[in-house]
Amino acid sequence: MGIRLIEAGPDRTVASMPVLGNRQPLGLLHGGASALLAETVGSVAASLAAGEGRFAVGIELNISHHRSATDGIVTATATALQRGKTLATYGIDIVDDAGRRISSGRLTCLLREAEHRPPAVGPTPL
């Protein structure tokens, strides 16, 4: 996907991603790639908001696509809308190189204690 983290904090996280390599068959930025970028910046921010000994897991993502991109870099910024003890919600804007809004979304993450973390997935024995 080529995502590059630019800034990371619990209130604001920014990352960029190239359009090239993330296009659908018509040559436009794939909506799923935009959604992945949005969830990435929101999840990083929520993980930082959760704090030590805690983790974040996305429970709701919505995204609206406003215009297409065919080349260049898109940049996503997640901004905290609400940070509580158990939930964190972020507004996410994705813009192109010219600063035009490509997509906007919202991500809500559940913040949990580390002892509730699901086990890591490893190789399945045959």
Comparing CA positions, the residue from 106, 75, 76 lying closest to residue 91 is: 106
69: exposed, middle or buried (Cβ count in 10 Å: 0-12, 13-18, 19+):
buried
Distance, CA of 47 to chain centre: 11
Choose the catalytic residue: 39, 52, 60, 113: 39
DSSP state string for 79-90: EEEEE-SSEEEE
Strand residues in the chain grouped as ranges (E): 4-7, 12-18, 54-65, 73-83, 87-95, 101-113
Task: Identify whether 39 is a catalytic site residue.
Answer: yes
| Active-site residue set | 39
